[in-house]
């Protein structure tokens, strides 16, 4: 385990050139700040996705009937934070355009209770050159404060293009 992986403090890696990205394969890029999952966020996600199950949106029903005794966030609400956590954990300074390309593997491991603290630990798994840029895969581990097991582990794919004017 590298020293960066031992840290518990949020940090970000600045990568000067897109062409340097391959030098970071197998390394941790950063650790985001803690983020609180609120009932309002859960309710907004439920309304937007029309997934209004009581386990997510009804604290009284959850307290009575849920094994967790609290509402829980939708798994895809947690997964939707991947872009935010990646944005907070690394910067490539000479890109003109970057885009989320998709997901490879996703595992939901631990439920995220309302008011939980969540953060993203991001590492670079691979890079592939594409015309004018690089497609790369990152591992995003969604850590839960006070829990040994993460909420989710995902392989997130992005693509970036170099700024030819720099």
Write out pLDDT tens, residues 112-161.
999 999 999 999 999 999 998 999 999 999 999 999 999 999 999 999 99
Split at pLDDT 50, 70, 90, the class of 99 is confident
- Structure-block tokens of residue 137: 């895969």
**Residue labelled with tokens 């993460």:** 150
Across the strands, what pairs with 90?
Answer: 13
**In terms of residue numbers, what domain contains 18?**
10-35+82-162
Position 141 in a domain: yes
Position 57 in a domain: no
Position 29 in a domain: yes
**How many helices (H) and strands (E) in the chain?**
6, 8
Position 62 in a domain: no
Position 91 in a domain: yes
Q: For residue 129, how many C-alpha atoms fall within 13 Å in the half-sphere facing its CB?
A: 5
Position 58 in a domain: no
Residues 33-67: tens digit of each pLDDT: 999 999 999 999 999 999 999 999 999 999 999 99
- With H, G, I as helix, E, B as strand and everything else as coil, classify residue 59: helix
Number of domains in the chain: 1
Q: Residue 128's domain is classified under what CATH number?
A: 3.10.129.10
**Residue labelled with tokens 């650790």:** 31
91 pLDDT above the threshold of 90: yes
6 pLDDT above the threshold of 70: no
> Is the pTM higher than 0.85?
yes
36 with 116: CB under 8 angstroms?
yes
Give Rg (Cα) of the chain: 18
Helix ranges (DSSP H) in the chain? 3-6, 39-49, 54-57, 59-65, 75-79, 82-89
């Amino acid at each position: 385990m590298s020293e960066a992986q031992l840290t518990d403090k949020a940090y970000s890696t600045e990568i000067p050139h897109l062409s340097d990205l391959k030098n970071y394969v197998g390394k941790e890029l950063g650790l985001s700040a803690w983020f609180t999952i609120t009932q309002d966020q859960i309710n907004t996600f439920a309304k937007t996705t029309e997934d209004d199950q009581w386990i997510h949106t009804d604290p009284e029903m959850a307290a009575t009937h849920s094994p967790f005794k609290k509402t829980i966030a939708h798994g895809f609400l947690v997964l939707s934070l991947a872009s935010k956590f990646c944005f907070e954990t690394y910067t490539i300074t000479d890109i003109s355009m970057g885009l989320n390309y998709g997901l490879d593997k996703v595992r939901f491991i631990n439920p995220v209770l309302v008011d939980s603290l969540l953060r993203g630990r991001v590492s670079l798994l691979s890079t592939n050159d594409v015309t004018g840029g690089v497609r790369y895969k990152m591992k995003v581990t969604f850590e839960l404060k006070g829990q040994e097991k993460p909420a989710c582990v995902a392989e997130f794919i992005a693509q970036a293009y170099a700024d030819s004017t720099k």
